[in-house]
A = this chain, B = another copy of it.
Amino acid sequence: MKDAKRPEVIRPSARAADALREIRLTRDYTRHAEGSVLVEFGDTKVLCNASVEAGVPRWLRGKNQGWVTAEYGMLPRATHSRSGREASHGKQGGRTLEIQRLIGRSLRAAVNLKKLGEFTITVDCDVIQADGGTRTASITGGCVALVDAIRHLQREKLIKSDPFQQLVSAISVGIYKGVPVVDLDYPEDSKADTDLNVVMTEGGGLIEVQGTAEANAFDRAELNAMLDLAETAGARLFEHQREALGIRG
């Protein structure tokens, strides 16, 4: 592992190793969803719509709790070359299912399901344009949409107590040409040795850590360097979320 501070490593985007891309969270992006957020991590753009529905899945009925789940999709031409439409192929691919399971687990950490009552909130994360980091953008933006959906339930007096527990955000970190870097865009992601997605809580806790060695195995020191970068990035992401939501930090 090289030293991230060393100046000669130039990321394709010319960003510093610890620099995030421009982050934007636009609430009320569409008008029907109870929470609707366009999240942008640079050129990665994901529309996160949180929908409230009365009732819970069959296996939760009568347990006096709610449910939060997520679905993920990519528009066919969100990527460099067109990928087939999953609806037309007749099934969601493994990558899609893996990502939407990750988003769902992550967002459930933001909510006290007991206090949610028998409501289901589904957060649809649809990638309009992809440039690396779509799953971490989805979690970060999806959490804001989820909060808006919870606020809707409260405003409509459909629930009494507040099920919101904590903000959740996510970032990718990796080892690019031997240097730990944060928020990889596609040119970096496709060449990185290691790719680590980290989902965090405002309190500094870890919700999910998913690291994959693409070419060579990584060691504990590299893992720690990546987690340090993720921690710093997380602080900034929570600021963005709080600002978007008008929450004082």
**What residues of chain B lie closer than 8 Å to A201, measured between beta carbons?**
217
User: Size range of the interface on A?
Assistant: 35 or more
Distance (whole angstroms) from the CB of A171 to the closest CB of chain B: 15
**What residues of chain B lie closer than 8 Å to A90, measured between beta carbons?**
90-91
Distance (whole angstroms) from the CB of A56 to the closest CB of chain B: 15
Taking the complex as formed, is A73 at the interface, i.e. its CB lies under 8 A from any CB of chain B? yes
Distance (whole angstroms) from the CB of A50 to the closest CB of chain B: 8
Find out whether the CB atom of B85 lies under 8 angstroms from the CB atom of A71.
yes
Of the candidates B51, B80, B209, the one whose C-beta lies within 8 Å of that of A211 is B209
Taking the complex as formed, is A204 at the interface, i.e. its CB lies under 8 A from any CB of chain B? yes
Of the candidates B30, B78, B89, B224, the one whose C-beta lies within 8 Å of that of A129 is B30
Find out whether the CB atom of B204 lies under 8 angstroms from the CB atom of A219.
yes
13 residue pairs A–B, Cβ–Cβ below 8 Å: A30-B45, A33-B82, A47-B128, A49-B76, A51-B76, A51-B81, A85-B87, A87-B92, A97-B97, A209-B223, A210-B210, A210-B211, A223-B227
